[in-house]
Structure 1
Amino acid sequence: MSAITDSDLITDEKVDFVLSEAKEQLAATVADAEALTKSGVYLLGGLLTVITALVGVTSAQFVGAKSLSEQRWGVIIPLLATTLYSAADAAMIMWSALSSKELEHGGNTPNNLATQELFQLETRLLKFSEALSYQDRIEKNHRRNEQIGITINRGIKMACAAPLIYLLLVALTYIIAPSSFHP
């Protein structure tokens, strides 16, 4: 599409429509961001629950009456590795997907609107200028939401892989050192 060069084409009805659509689209990107944040919070809550359980199970494997060399390391090491893997997944979600910074909301500050240049414009052109200012925000929110969605999807895949990693580590430990499973 080409840019509008003739301001006479910008009628009150058209600019009201464009402004309404721009505000609606920007509000939709903010709503999408809120939904992604909820998904991230649920995922993080699930991961923290799993991590807490893994820490409990891991600590239950230690026997206080035995020395470190006599502990059941064949069971403990896979649990520790899975716990650390899950903690890294939770940290990635927390730092990447739950950040509300960089989210652009609707509206303009008075400093943006109360300028000499804008007050010289007719109201229809002022509204059109406001509608155009939403375009960058909409695109920025789309990029942000896409990146957060990718991070959440990666986090879900990593969470689903954790039990498989644990089983693989247990199998490898049993193959390498079967005696480490006996008390």
Structure 2
Amino acid sequence: MLSRSTEPEIAGTAEILERYLPSLVLLNDYGTGNVPIPKGDESQWVLTYEDAMLFIRSMPFYTQSDLFGRERNGSSQGIVAGLYQTFGGEELYRSTQEKAANLLYQVVKDHPFSDSNKRCAAALFVYFLNGNGTLCDDDSLLVESNALAAMTLMIALSAPAEKDTMIALVENFLIRHESQEIN
């Protein structure tokens, strides 16, 4: 109704609200405790533990610090392998977005590195999305820099009981709203 206004200011406000509507709906879903799980895309690339560690070691922080990206307890191998676990012949994490969200969450929360778990988690998250061809769309990033920092900090500050909600939120952030499908 606002967009039909002859007043440019009112019509412009409608356009802005329309652009933010998916985020407002997601905030409402979060507020009601009903964050939907999007369908997501089928993974095209498999992240291996070796690839993940080579990537971490290629980051400039790695050579500048004796702690950055140094494995603490060997759990990073289990985190990466866990992305592809199955039950009854079915993958537990079915979409690229679900795998990426779990990778981000688990590296942040499980602290597999001596230092910089949030930076390692965010970097691996981006590396995984890029490997699966879902990081960019028409030369625009799916996850902007500030959004990446916000998602990572949101997970770091969350309570363990909020795990499913945090993962569902990240999955929703990774879905282009024009083609979003909910399971």
- State the TM bucket, normalised to the shorter chain: under 0.3
Larger gyration radius, structure 1 or structure 2: 1
- Which structure ranks higher in relative contact order (CA pairs < 8 Å, sequence separation ≥ 6)? 1
TM-score w.r.t. structure 2 length? Answer: 0.22
Higher helix share: 1
Whose strand fraction is larger, Structure 1's or Structure 2's? 2
